[in-house]
Amino acid sequence: MIQEKQTPMREQPAAERVHNFNEVPLGYTPDEAVQEAERCLQCGHAPCVKGCPVGIDIPGFLEHVKNREFAKAISVIKQDNALPAVCGRVCPQENQCQGVCTLAGRFDPVAIGRLERFCADWEAENGAVDMEKPAENGKKIAIIGAGPAGLTVAGEMRRRGYAVTMFELLHVAGGVLMYGIPEFRLPKDIVQREIRALCEMGVDVEVNQVVGRTQTVQELLDGDYDAVFIGTGAGLPRFLGVPGESLNGVFSANEFLTRTNLMKAYLFPEYDTPIKVGERVVTVGGGNVAMDASRTALRLGAKESVIVYRRSEDELPARAEEVHHAKEEGVQFQLLTNPIEFIGEKGNLKAIRCIKMELGEPDDSGRRRPVPIEGSEFEIEATTVVIAVGNGPHPLIPQTTPNLDLNRWGSIVADPETGLTSIRGVYAGGDIVTGAATVIEAMGAGKRAAAAMHAYLSD
């Protein structure tokens, strides 16, 4: 008899967690992990592996978990994924491995993400396994941007024997894992633990490096490096372009989250970077970043946190789990609503003028297009608004690299299979190519690019 439902994972209660930045889901115990792993049918054709952008041998690691061979389980995962503790927490498994699980449909799919997380955390608690430092093959690669795509390329290439140097613009490696995703969803010491593991493999991480200004991509190629990977992400915040957007109190989600996560403004004045939230914080947008911002606002002391989204609940692009967590914590949803003006007083935001929307015909994305309802304008009083409507490509490398082909949004044009750009020896992957997507998709692109770079450098 198969257990129909997933083994539940304990969580911090909503009423408690809105007052702290500690992680919300608490992880499985070994017994819970074994219980959940026993649900895997070992079905043979393993659709989950094809559903995983980095192709982890999922039945293989689940079998080890079932047999309480946790060290073997994590070794299997790490063959394909350098960031298991991260992916176990932030991957949208419901659309990937778990979405295609043979159990799904009749029963709950196997909780693959939770088990991946369990294995990574088990390793952290019980001492690292498999820390061999591969011998160098004499070739060097440079990686620009130490986010999910770059870190994946680093691990893949180091394992193949390349000397790897990562150039990171910020003062810490991790990219969006450090500045974007909140502590309560992805603790920063877990991210750093995974980066440390790469460093122990021999990856060299150089922070505070402004490639494009201190040295160009071409100079890296002409100098020490045989190939370059660009994984500089989608860091440029988009705004709405409505009046009043430069008022004090209007934040991009990037600013709001960077202050809080990267600079630890929630510990101000112990940490030097401040942040300000009003009694009511309005977040514009319906994706995972909007959920992160609205939940962060509550933890920073906002009494009310409201999501304003122009379509309906069915179209919310955020993961169901994130929406669920936000609702549990008391985030309110003002759906089918769009801001049309920010109203200020003495330079500070006072209210947001909105218009109600209805859904019309499907647009290019296949979703029904939101259409404003004439005469339905109304105001929401708020002194803080966070704009979470997406990011564009980080401009520095595109602007400073002649001969690098870009598309009309300013993203780098790269072969989807190999990541090769218009410059020989230069590869790119992740959000700088696709526009804002997920951590694991960036990692998948990194993995493909690493294979292609290896083939190129082996010729």
Partner 1 sequence: MYKILKKQTLGPSIREYIIEAPDVARAGKAGQFIVLRLHERGERIPLTIVECNPETGGVTLVVQEVGKSTREMGDQFHEGDTILDFAGPLGEATDIENFGTVICIGGGLGIAPLYPIARDLKAAGNEVIGIIGARNKELMFYEDRMAAVCDELIVKTDDGSHGTQGFVSDPLKEILESGRTINHVWAIGPAIMMKVCADVTRPFEVPTIVSLNSVMIDGTGMCGGCRVDVNGTAKFACVDGPEFDGHQVDFDLLMSRQGYYHEEETCSMDDYMSKYPEGVEQ
> Could you list the residues that contact partner 1 (CB under 8 A)?
169-171, 179, 207-210, 213-215, 235-237, 239, 245-246, 248-249, 251-252, 254-255, 258-259, 262-264, 268-274, 276, 346-348, 394-396
> What sign does the CA torsion over 457, 208, 428, 446 have?
positive
The nearer residue to partner 1, 104 or 263, going by C-beta atoms, is 263
The nearer residue to partner 1, 71 or 340, going by C-beta atoms, is 340
**The total number of residues written for the chain in this structure:** 459
Q: How far is the CB of 291 from partner 1 (least distance, A)?
A: 20
**Are 83 and 190 within 8 A, CB to CB?**
no
End-to-end CA distance of the chain: 53
Helix H or strand E segment including 386: strand 384-387
The C-alpha atoms of residue 154 and residue 341 are separated, in whole angstroms, by: 45
Q: How far is the CB of 273 from partner 1 (least distance, A)?
A: 4
The nearer residue to partner 1, 113 or 287, going by C-beta atoms, is 287
Q: What angle do CA 253, 254, 260 make, to 5 degrees?
A: 90
Partners of residue 332 on adjacent β-strands = 306
The nearer residue to partner 1, 81 or 252, going by C-beta atoms, is 252
The nearer residue to partner 1, 62 or 300, going by C-beta atoms, is 300
The nearer residue to partner 1, 96 or 232, going by C-beta atoms, is 232
Residue type, 20: N
The nearer residue to partner 1, 270 or 361, going by C-beta atoms, is 270
The nearer residue to partner 1, 155 or 237, going by C-beta atoms, is 237
Q: Is 376 helix (H, G, I), strand (E, B) or coil?
A: coil
Strand 236-237 with 391-392, pairing:
antiparallel
The C-alpha atoms of residue 50 and residue 84 are separated, in whole angstroms, by: 17
Q: How far is the CB of 270 from partner 1 (least distance, A)?
A: 7
The nearer residue to partner 1, 254 or 288, going by C-beta atoms, is 254
Q: How far is the CB of 326 from partner 1 (least distance, A)?
A: 23
Q: How far is the CB of 19 from partner 1 (least distance, A)?
A: 21
Ranges assigned E (strand) in 97-188: 140-144, 163-167
CA distances (Å), origin 451, targets 6, 131, 221, 263, 447: 35, 22, 19, 35, 6
The C-alpha atoms of residue 182 and residue 90 are separated, in whole angstroms, by: 11
Q: How far is the CB of 215 from partner 1 (least distance, A)?
A: 8
Q: How far is the CB of 348 from partner 1 (least distance, A)?
A: 8
Q: How far is the CB of 277 from partner 1 (least distance, A)?
A: 12
Question: Which ranges of 128-201 does DSSP label H, i.e. alpha helix?
Answer: 148-159, 176-179, 188-200
The C-alpha atoms of residue 246 and residue 347 are separated, in whole angstroms, by: 9
Name the token pair of 423.
């410059």
Helix H or strand E segment including 283: strand 280-284
Q: How far is the CB of 240 from partner 1 (least distance, A)?
A: 11
The nearer residue to partner 1, 23 or 168, going by C-beta atoms, is 168
Q: How far is the CB of 395 from partner 1 (least distance, A)?
A: 6
Partners of residue 282 on adjacent β-strands = 306, 385
Q: Is 160 helix (H, G, I), strand (E, B) or coil?
A: coil
The C-alpha atoms of residue 411 and residue 451 are separated, in whole angstroms, by: 22
The nearer residue to partner 1, 16 or 219, going by C-beta atoms, is 219
The C-alpha atoms of residue 141 and residue 419 are separated, in whole angstroms, by: 15
Q: How far is the CB of 182 from partner 1 (least distance, A)?
A: 16
Distance of CA 72 to the CA centre of its chain: 27
The C-alpha atoms of residue 405 and residue 413 are separated, in whole angstroms, by: 6
Partners of residue 237 on adjacent β-strands = 391
